Amino acid sequence: MRFGVVVFPGSNCDHDAWYAVKHNLGHPVDFIWHDSDKLGNVDAVILPGGFSYGDYLRCGAIAKFSPVMSAVRKFAAEGGLVAGFCNGFQILTESHLLPGALIRNRDLKFICKPVELITATSDSPFTSTLRKGQTITVPIAHGEGCYVADPETIERLEKEDRVAFRYVANPNGAMHGIAGILNEGRNVLGMMPHPERASDPLMGSTDGLAIFQSMVSAFAIK
């Protein structure tokens, strides 16, 4: 299975995602330049963390106009696996591939720390190797990670089992403690925590690797 990591101007977790897939997961991975309207020969797309376009205007608001995002939209519509971590999640909501928005943390400060997440569903190509209710430790690093949406959207997310991860101790004020969500087709995941930072034993946790491994097994079944 071949992964692709999109590089926007200002992406800064692109190499980390690349390294986790290549060396910790052991799968081939390419970088995809934001200016490209093709994804190449990849089987899954990662939108990495960072500050695309400096997070100017709003996080992810400018990145959604990149040529590569048209290709990502098409890929997702055809059922391709798309995972956005941190800034990648913000780009997915701005692009309307996922509902809701990410606003400034409750305390108005950037927070970097490992947090505990509860796996809210194992029924997705990103969480199938985890048990529902299983706790994993994955770092967050964001200033604007407070997930919000209108009440109908939140209710739908809950009813359709589309909350992927919830914080054990809510660090940023996110509604329903939401750390990550799925789209209707369950093939697009957005999450604020950084699984690529929890994929190497030297970094203190390898819990994040389960998300990549789930993607690999989903692809193998397909």
Partner 1 sequence: MPITPEQLAVHRLTRDEYDLIVKILKRDPNITELGIFSVMWSEHCSYKSSKRHLRKLPTESKHVLVGPGENAGIIDIGDGWAIAFKIESHNHPSFIEPFQGAATGVGGILRDIFTMGARPIAVMDAIRFGPPDDPANGARNRRILEGVVSGIAHYGNCFGVPTVGGECVFDPSYSGNPLVNVFALGVFKHDEVFYGRATGIGNPVIYVGAKTGRDGIHGASMASAEFDEESDAKRPNVQVGDPFMEKLLLEACLEAMKTGAIVGIQDMGAAGLTCSTCEMGSRAGTGIEFDLMHVPQRETGMTPYEIMLSESQERMLLVAEKGRENEVFAVFKKWGLDAVTIGEVTGDGILRVKDHGAIVAEIPNRELADEAPIYDRPHNASPYRPYPVEGPESIASGDLTADLYKLMSSPDLCSKRWVWEQYDYMVRTNTVLGPGGDAAIVRIKETGHSVAMVLDGNGRYCVLDPFEGAKLMVAECCRNLSTVGATPVAATNNLNFGNPERPEIMRQLVLGIEGLGEACRFFETPITGGNVSLYNETLGEPIHPTPVLGIVGLMETAAPVSPTFKTAGREVILLGGLRLEGCDKSRFGGSQYANTVLGKQWGLPPKLDMDYEKRVHTAIREIVTNGLAESAHDLSDGGLAVAIAECSFGANGIGARIAIGSDMEPVMLLYHEAPSRVLISTANADAVKAIAAKHGVEAPSIGQTIADTIELSTGGQVRVRTESRALRDAWENALPALMKTR
> What's 181's DSSP letter?
E
The strands making up 29-33's β-sheet, listed across from edge to edge, are 29-33, 3-7, 44-47, 81-85, 188-191, 178-182, 163-167, 111-119, 135-142
50 binds partner 1 (CB under 8 A): yes
110 binds partner 1 (CB under 8 A): yes
**Quick check: is 23 catalytic?**
no
Question: Could you tell me the end-to-end alpha-carbon distance of the chain, in angstroms, rounded to an integer?
Answer: 11
Choose the stretch contacting partner 1; rule: CB under 8 A; options: 43-51, 71-79, 123-131, 144-152: 43-51
The minimum distance between CB 114 and partner 1, in angstroms, equals: 9
SS3 138: strand
141 binds partner 1 (CB under 8 A): yes
Among 1, 5, 6, 20, binds partner 1 (CB under 8 A): 20
Structure tokens at 180: 């990550």
54 binds partner 1 (CB under 8 A): yes
Among 26, 152, 202, 220, binds partner 1 (CB under 8 A): 202
**Quick check: is 194 catalytic?**
yes
The minimum distance between CB 34 and partner 1, in angstroms, equals: 11
The minimum distance between CB 70 and partner 1, in angstroms, equals: 19
Choose the stretch contacting partner 1; rule: CB under 8 A; options: 51-59, 73-81, 118-126, 172-180: 51-59
Judge contact between 47 and 13, C-beta under 8 A. Answer: no
DSSP assignment of 69-122: HHHHHHHHHTT-EEEEETHHHHHHHHTTSS-SEEE--TTSS-EEEEEEEEE--S
Judge contact between 153 and 205, C-beta under 8 A. Answer: no
15 binds partner 1 (CB under 8 A): yes
The minimum distance between CB 3 and partner 1, in angstroms, equals: 16
> Which residues participate in catalysis according to the annotation?
86, 194, 196
